[in-house]
Chain A
């Protein structure tokens, strides 16, 4: 057990060093995709906690991300940028001169998303399965519609431009530390949470609600805890995404965004932290790599006309294939652990 912890620690330190090296060697375009991977890891893990470990099929993730992104954006922007953004209608006075450092704003963004999660969860978590899915989807749409219409707070459909870059000093190496640092924190937090007594209760609820209740698990309390934690991390992820993109608008937080995260979670294996992490990285990179499908291609002497939108067809088809023929996804409910690797190594040495 001790040995495994040391191995984990060493690999985390190695990973952080790798990040700094990558930041120098990779170009800014590749680095941006790499940062995006980190953000999607956070988002996938937060959805996996709700969908995979507690078995609540929530489709409201985009809404919580919107809350986090808007809160963080409005708190970090300088009064001048705000004035430039809100040219149709002036911003409400109490928000005008607020400017907080990025970390504080990020945490407040997460907390606001968590509050939204608690408010939405209180009525919705009594529902089951598909009703829950539709109700959470409904709430996320309501959040989007409200953000589109509250012009004086969110600038409505125009969106907000010129978000400051991630980090305190605004240097490029800081971005990767923030995105992947929080991703690492999320991974460790989720692992600890899942292995705690709460995690065991979550899994019990997933397997059989009635049996879990009979064993003395407070259903509502545990569902609520998972939902609030999930929405907190969704808010953080949304805020990071907004700041990485530099611009946010309500249309960004459509159902499509939730769908992308559901896709990641399903491909990785519902209920596997390792699966979510791997699949978040693979899917994010391939979403960029497959852009060649949309553009013209030259094969031999022929030019194959690119079909715009082909990329998303591939991903939707992939999701259908996985869910129809290989429901476990990449990892099923298995997790990565050191013992497995050490045993493997020993076996190979024996041969």
Chain B
């Protein structure tokens, strides 16, 4: 394999990895605070893409406005989801919360099938995103370069929010100890809502860019990326934002590289994430960056 083709695969891997990273952050933040797998996160991601699609095609908005609207609406949707599906079960056994999450996920998917229709839709792509750049013999679609840049910007913003603002400090406190944070006068409910909002906004950003890179929208498009990104979060160490980013990149690069290095295995591409998950759970269940926790009686 020539160097330029390798480089091309690398760019693809990095852009897929960035998308996974954006989604994985949503999982890891929610899990860090509520100890809950937000199964519906993949569907929030799907919703973001569809909102952007309809804003552009039905309402004829310019692309930047529709992207902004999609991010805001998805953010609101994430907060509503938390309020309806998870908040009433805050003190229930974890199995109930998980069933609720699975149920919410299927409800959103089935509603999406009813409302948007099961037929695949083509995401409209502006020329700036589909330009083909030629850099040193490597031809790259511009969107593959834009995705990592936007991801980097979003991550810097998130890093600032989590580490340098009051809300971020409260978020970290809640994830360390829920009860103690409440005793310190932190409004836990609004912090959780804020977390869901942030995670959903990131999912929307990821979804829009996913639509630009793989422009086929179906109501079930969030299912597989959702599962894989949860795995990315586990691989990186769940509850750890930096870990989720690393996990996302490992997953994205790994998937692309498997297909690139041995085309015979390309059918097993979807299994890669799950194999990785099982290896990580057996070798280091707390993930690459996670801390060990011991259950106390």
Determine the distance from Cα of A298 to Cα of B85 in the docked complex, in whole angstroms.
35
A255 and B295 CA atoms in complex are apart in Å by 30
- Is B95 a contact partner of A270 (Cβ separation < 8 A)? yes
A309, B234: Cα distance in complex, Å: 33
Which residues of A (54-109) have their CB < 8 Å from a CB of B?
55, 57
CB B204 to nearest CB in A, in angstroms, measures 22
Known: A57-B95, A324-B100. A130 touches B110 (CB 8 A): no
Contact A133–B37 (Cβ < 8 Å): yes
Partner of B106, one of A51, A141, A149, A259: A259
Taking residues whose C-beta sits less than 8 angstroms from the other chain, chain A's interface range is 35 or more
Q: Within 8 Å of chain A (Cβ to Cβ): is B98? A: yes
Name, among B92, B106, B271, B285, the residue most crowded by chain A CB atoms within 10 Å (CB to CB): B106
Residues of A within 8 A of B99 (CB): 262, 266, 319, 323
Chain A residue contacts of B295, Cβ below 8 A: 128, 210
Q: Which residues of A contact B106 (CB under 8 A)?
A: 259, 312, 316, 319
**B65 near A: Cβ within 8 Å?**
no
Q: How far is the CA of A308 from the CA of B88 in the complex (A)?
A: 31
Residues from chain B with Cβ under 8 Å of A309 in the complex: 110, 113-114, 118
Q: Which of B113-129 contact A (CB under 8 A)?
A: 113-114, 118
- Please measure, in the bound complex, the distance between the C-alpha atom of A235 and the C-alpha atom of B111, giving whole angstroms: 32
Tell whether, in the assembled complex, residue B102 and residue A259 are in contact, meaning their CB atoms are under 8 Å apart.
yes
Asked whether B96 lies within 8 Å of A327 as measured between CB atoms, the reply is yes
Majority secondary structure, B binding face: helix
Q: Is the pair B281, A135 in contact by a Cβ cutoff of 8 Å? A: yes
Of residues 261 through 280 on chain B, the ones whose CB sits less than 8 Å from some CB of chain A are 267-268, 270-271, 273-275, 277-278
Interface residues, chain A, with chain B CB atoms under 8 Å away: 51, 55, 57, 123-124, 127-131, 133-135, 137-139, 141-142, 145-146, 148-149, 210, 255, 259, 262, 266, 270, 307-310, 312-313, 316-317, 319-320, 323-324, 327
Other than the known A55-B95, A138-B277, what 19 A-B pairs have Cβ atoms closer than 8 Å? A123-B278, A123-B282, A124-B278, A129-B94, A131-B281, A134-B231, A138-B227, A141-B271, A142-B275, A146-B268, A255-B223, A259-B106, A308-B113, A308-B114, A319-B99, A320-B107, A323-B96, A323-B99, A324-B89
Q: Can you show 21 pairs from A to B with CB atoms below 8 A apart? A: A123-B281, A123-B282, A127-B281, A133-B37, A133-B98, A138-B273, A138-B278, A145-B268, A146-B271, A149-B267, A149-B268, A259-B102, A262-B102, A266-B99, A309-B118, A312-B106, A316-B106, A319-B103, A320-B103, A324-B85, A327-B92
